[in-house]
């Protein structure tokens, strides 16, 4: 099969299209013919040397959408020909999705939403599972004021839609008018341009000074301190980028709860993988109900152009998920 192989950590120029042996599913595994894969920031970090990646040489890529080609012994979850999607590879011990075929644990998969193309479905798994956990762990409820930082990003634009599906009132924090229009089209009730308005100002404007019931932080760093600042008394903060040091005094002063989300854990530890498959079923149901859709970047890449796709993400300023067409005929 054709695969983008990484033989040494470093920049995107270290990715090369090569012919490698196709994997063979063992007991409890399924073989997937990959139609499309999406690019995520974790792919770039692993390529640069983050020690959660597969042993070199390796194939990168976590997300995919494709078709079940073969099932290993003892695998009853899916049948040959099923269209499936998932975040199922590209980390330690798991082959990646920038290849024509991959084997994976069926617990990490779900049937692809019928209403989405393979390209659209491939854009969802990692960001949708992360967003689901960001919404579910703090138990967002109907009528609550929810603030989403990084609302036009990969995880953020899904979190906005999921919070709206729970009938929350959603305020979306973005950097410019183009992103403001995007999140409004996705259902955000209020938009905050952080370059124009201080946290104190939008807390007063949108909550009459009370603060937000739930704050979703997809940005991390000093932004997590800002999340503590704008949360209401006994509010809940959920963060997907909390690898940083913070003064917890503001959290203590308001009796806040903090939920750290690390969605790759089941893939790395093997524990709790079935939760990912179940979440993806729920995500598919939201897609079928018209309550959730991914935003894709308009530039298309094929498998041989995977390095360019990663370089584009690395350059920054991208709106919409970057998707790589792996199958000969994009779908």
121 with 77, same domain: the answer is yes
- Looking at residue 317, what is its pLDDT? 83
Q: What CATH number does residue 219 fall under?
A: 3.40.50.720
- Please indicate, yes or no, whether residues 75 and 152 belong to a single structural domain of this protein: no
Provide the token pair at 160: 């906005």
Structure tokens at 235: 């509010």
The domain total for the chain is: 2
Residues 153 and 185 in one domain: yes
pLDDT at 328: 66
Q: What is the pLDDT of residue 117?
A: 97
| 294 and 277 inside one domain | yes
Query: Are 207 and 314 found together in one domain?
Result: no
- 120 with 315: CB under 8 angstroms? no
The CATH number of whichever domain residue 276 belongs to comes to 3.90.180.10
Strands 83-87 and 2-6: unpaired
For 243, the domain range is: 138-260
Distance, in Å, from the CA atom of 185 to the CA atom of 181, rounded to the nearest integer, reads: 6
Judge whether 252 lies within some domain: yes
Peptide bond between residue 57 and the one before it cis (omega within 30 degrees of 0): yes
Domain annotation covers residue 92 = yes
Same domain assignment for residues 150 and 206: yes
Per-residue model confidence as pLDDT tens digits over 30-67: 999 999 999 999 999 999 999 999 999 999 999 999 99
pTM higher than the cut 0.85:
yes
Final residue in a domain of this structure, among 260, 278, 299: 260
Instruction: Let me know: does 160 contact 182? Beta carbons within 8 Å.
Output: no
Token couple for 306 = 């995977």
Q: Does residue 330 form part of some domain?
A: no
Q: What is the dihedral of CA 87, 93, 97, 100, to 10 degrees?
A: -140
Quote the tokens at residue 110.
């779900």
The pLDDT tens digits for 210-228 are: 999 999 999 999 999 999 9
Domain boundary among 260, 291, 315: 260
* Beta carbons within 8 Å of 33's beta carbon, 6+ residues apart: 66, 67, 68, 69, 100, 101, 327
- The residues of the chain scoring below 50 in pLDDT are 329-331
| β-strands 190-193, 169-174 pairing | parallel
Question: Does residue 131 lie within any of the structural domains?
Answer: no
Q: Are residues 7 and 119 in the same domain?
A: yes
- pLDDT computed for residue 74 by the predictor: 84
List phi, psi (to 5°) of 71: -120, 140
Domain boundary residue, one of 214, 234, 260: 260
83 and 187 within one domain: no
pLDDT attached to residue 157 = 98
């Amino acid at each position: 099969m054709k695969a983008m192989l990484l033989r040494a950590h470093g920049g995107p120029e270290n990715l090369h299209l090569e012919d490698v042996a196709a994997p063979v599913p063992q007991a409890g595994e399924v073989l997937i013919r990959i139609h499309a894969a999406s690019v995520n920031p974790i792919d770039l970090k692993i390529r640069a040397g983050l020690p959660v990646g597969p042993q070199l040489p390796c194939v990168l890529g976590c997300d995919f959408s494709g078709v079940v080609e073969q099932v290993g012994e003892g695998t009853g979850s899916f049948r040959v020909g099923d269209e499936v999607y998932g975040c199922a590879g590209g980390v330690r011990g798991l082959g990646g999705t920038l290849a024509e075929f991959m084997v994976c644990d069926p617990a990490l998969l779900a049937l692809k939403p019928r209403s989405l193309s393979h390209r659209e479905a491939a854009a969802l798994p990692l960001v949708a599972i992360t967003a689901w956990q960001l919404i579910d762990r703090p138990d967002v409820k109907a009528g609550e004021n929810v603030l989403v930082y990084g609302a036009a990003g990969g995880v953020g634009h899904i979190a906005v839609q999921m919070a709206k599906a729970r009938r929350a009132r959603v305020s979306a924090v973005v950097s410019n008018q183009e992103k403001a229009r995007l999140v409004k089209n996705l259902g955000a009730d209020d938009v905050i341009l952080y370059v124009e308005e201080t946290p104190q100002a939008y807390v007063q404007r949108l909550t009459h000074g009370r603060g937000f019931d739930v704050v979703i932080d997809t940005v991390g760093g000093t932004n997590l301190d800002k999340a503590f600042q704008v949360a209401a008394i006994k509010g809940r903060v959920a963060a997907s980028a909390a690898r940083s040091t913070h003064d917890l005094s503001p959290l203590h002063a308001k009796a806040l709860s903090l939920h750290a989300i690390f969605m790759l854990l089941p893939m790395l530890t093997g524990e709790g993988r079935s939760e990912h498959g179940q979440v993806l079923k729920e995500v598919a149901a939201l897609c079928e109900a018209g309550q959730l859709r991914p935003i894709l970047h308009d530039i298309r890449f094929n498998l041989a152009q995977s390095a360019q796709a990663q370089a584009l993400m690395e350059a920054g300023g991208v709106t919409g998920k970057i998707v790589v067409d792996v199958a000969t005929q994009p779908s």
